[in-house]
Structure 1
Amino acid sequence: MDTIVQTYRLTKRFKDAEVIKPLDFTLKKGEICALIGKNGAGKSTIFKMLSGQIKPTSGDMQLFGKTGKKKARARKRMGFMIETPAFFPDFTAQQNLEYFRIQRGVVDKQRIHEVLEIVDLAKEKKKKFKEYSMGMKQRLGIALCLLSSPDCLVLDEPINGLDAEGIMEIRKLLTKLNQEKHITILISSHILTELELLATRFVFIKNGVVVDDLSKEALVDKSRKQILLKVDDPAKAARVLEQAYVDLQYQVLPDQVITIQNYAEKAGEINRLLVDSGVFVREFRTETLKLEEYFLGLVEGEQQ
């Protein structure tokens, strides 16, 4: 079965607020899929519906092609880290995982050593959880997710609060799990530059609606170049550009800056048009648009 998650018109309403609007979403085997959105966009709500913590208001969901009662069994093939796991502060990593191994009915005791090796915590045998750095705590959380040998990990903000070294460790770990252990990963984060390095697919969500869904290749293509110009009269410049290019995608930013998301190949022509139309161009350059700028334009900016 190549499809891990399939949702059909999935919704979630809390009182009068529809947090997730009809959602059709598919997660395929082998993907590292990044769910991107501002706080309150609905990312955690989607994850909690997948994990069974909350029930959808309407719609349907399949996990590994299973629905109904069979879906609960299929969910055991997934590891979830949606909120920080409640580890015992005075226990070592081994003691904490032994508690959860018994609680979750994992028969193989050797699995504890295996997952601690995978997340590079096997050498920290005597150190108690309360002495762990934030990065070590997050890695232990991932070890807990791996305890039942899942085929898919669902991770909500696993690099939140980490320093640069901790972020790099988590990125390397998740890449290794995906490439060597063939584990599918669904992840959310606010640190978009990291997702750009890690993910193979990017799903943008705003107010409970998926507003774009791109492969890595499509994102690179879509965000390849943009034109940035600083002019004396942005309103006039915008009128001139709109008349010349009907489907122009642009934004007017503070400090008399305009960014143009398409027609990068016509940069010279655009510059000459503005000058010939009496617009004083103070600065003009083409630049690569990063995921962060694309995200801001998509889910925050008022794109024209």
Structure 2
Amino acid sequence: MDTIIQTYQLKKTFKEEDIIKPLDFSLRKGEICALIGKNGAGKSTFFKMLAGQLMPTGGDIHLFGKSGKEMIHSKKRMGFMIETPEFFPDFTATQNLEYFRIQRGVIEKKRIYEVLQIVGLANQKKKRFKDYSMGMKQRLGIALCLLGSPDCLVLDEPINGLDAEGIIEIRNLLLRLNQEKQITILVSSHILTELQLLATRFVFIKNGVIVDDLSKENLNDKSKKQVQLKVDDAAKASRLLEQAYADIQYKVLPNHIITIQNHVEKGGEINRLLVDNGVLVMEFRMEALNLEEYFLGLVEGNEK
């Protein structure tokens, strides 16, 4: 699989503090990779080094297999939105993009109409930027990223500050760009629940270090539902479960609570097994493991 971004022991130090510790990272063609961490974890610093806005203290960056001076052409295949772009408040979307088209040397003038069509702003011909909603401003930012027909987008917190409708719009737009235009996406956020609906891979960063790197399948495994029971006799219930299901995975918690991690689809059967054998089931419910809490623990945890 083609590697689009590759970093080797990439490092950034500010005033003797390591913001990014030697970091190895790769992004493969076709992925939507989410970089997740709390504010100050190093996400923006990492993205600014990829964009060339910050010089690394150490290590190496390869874009499309090129590094150093050879990266100039590779950069043209990338679209970066690290901070909200500075648009002219009194200009329309077309006027703003025309300014950037000339500045960036994009020859095809019709590309402006194409990118506005892609992000759903083509019908906002007369509306000025200052009258845009937050979601529209973010979409215009993505249109600017698309102006040079990139193969890869790097987006820093594109859903930050958006309402529910704006978040859905950006999510659907990014999915469409990935599936229909085959654009690879690296996106950062601290909103895990939203990224679960978007990304194919999840990289967690804390204090400038990658602490976990999971595929969507791995993430789904971690967020599987479990059965929670409250019974009058936990020891008897445990024996019955072990006799009925040789591979049962369960935990006995205080207050006669049992959680069962597998055979979740047989909840009704399990309930009947216990009741028929004289165990009083006072509470029975399905619950999803709280993934948000798990990963907040991972990325926020106790600071060392």
Correspondence for 1:151: 151
- Rg: which structure is higher? 2
Number of residue pairs matched?
Answer: 268
Q: Distance between the aligned counterparts of 2:110 and 2:263, measured in 1?
A: 61
TM-score, normalization by structure 1: 0.81
Correspondence for 2:89: 89
Deviation by residue 1:257-288 (Cα, 9 ceiling, x = unmatched): 9x99x9724999xxxxxxxxxxxxx9786622
Q: Distance between the aligned counterparts of 1:64 and 1:74, measured in 2?
A: 6
Correspondence for 1:46: 46
Correspondence for 1:121: 121
Correspondence for 1:213: 213
Correspondence for 1:264: 261
Correspondence for 1:131: 131
Correspondence for 1:203: 203
Per the alignment, do residues 229 and 183 of structure 1 end up closer, same or farther by CA in structure 2, a change over 3 Å counting?
same
Deviation by residue 1:45-103 (Cα, 9 ceiling, x = unmatched): 11000000001110111000001111122011100000010000000000000000000
Alignment of 1:157-176 (within 5 A): 157-176=157-176
Does the 8 Å contact 2:222/2:291 carry over to 1? Answer: no
Q: CA deviation at 1:14?
A: 0.3
Per the alignment, do residues 266 and 16 of structure 1 end up closer, same or farther by CA in structure 2, a change over 3 Å counting?
farther
Correspondence for 1:70: 70
Q: Which runs of 4+ in 1 moved over 6 A?
A: 227-230
Query: What amino acid maps onto 2:130 in structure 1?
Result: K
Q: Distance between the aligned counterparts of 1:191 and 1:221, measured in 2?
A: 19
Q: Distance between the aligned counterparts of 2:83 and 2:298, measured in 1?
A: 27
Does the 8 Å contact 2:228/2:260 carry over to 1? Answer: no
Residue 88 of structure 1 aligns to a residue whose secondary structure is coil
Q: CA deviation at 1:292?
A: 1.6
Q: CA deviation at 1:16?
A: 1.7
Alignment of 1:213-252 (within 5 A): 213-225=213-225
Q: Distance between the aligned counterparts of 1:67 and 1:14, measured in 2?
A: 23
The Cα RMSD (Å) is 2.8
Correspondence for 2:182: 182
Does the 8 Å contact 1:223/1:294 carry over to 2? Answer: no
Q: Distance between the aligned counterparts of 1:220 and 1:80, measured in 2?
A: 29
TM-score, normalization by structure 2: 0.81
Residue 197 of structure 2 aligns to a residue whose secondary structure is helix
Q: CA deviation at 1:289?
A: 2.3
Deviation by residue 1:135-175 (Cα, 9 ceiling, x = unmatched): 00000000000000000000001011111111111011000
Q: Distance between the aligned counterparts of 1:291 and 1:184, measured in 2?
A: 26
Query: What amino acid maps onto 2:85 in structure 1?
Result: P
Does the 8 Å contact 2:49/2:56 carry over to 1? Answer: yes
Query: What amino acid maps onto 1:264 in structure 2?
Result: Q
Per the alignment, do residues 131 and 210 of structure 1 end up closer, same or farther by CA in structure 2, a change over 3 Å counting?
same
Residue 198 of structure 1 aligns to a residue whose secondary structure is coil
Q: Distance between the aligned counterparts of 1:102 and 1:25, measured in 2?
A: 34
Unmatched 5+ residue regions in structure 2?
A: 231-248, 268-281
Q: Distance between the aligned counterparts of 1:147 and 1:286, measured in 2?
A: 47
Does the 8 Å contact 1:196/1:291 carry over to 2? Answer: no
Q: Distance between the aligned counterparts of 2:80 and 2:290, measured in 1?
A: 29
Residue 108 of structure 2 aligns to a residue whose secondary structure is coil
Per the alignment, do residues 291 and 105 of structure 1 end up closer, same or farther by CA in structure 2, a change over 3 Å counting?
farther
Q: Distance between the aligned counterparts of 1:121 and 1:225, measured in 2?
A: 40
Correspondence for 1:8: 8
Unmatched 5+ residue regions in structure 1?
A: 231-247, 269-281
Q: What's the % identity of the aligned pairs? A: 75
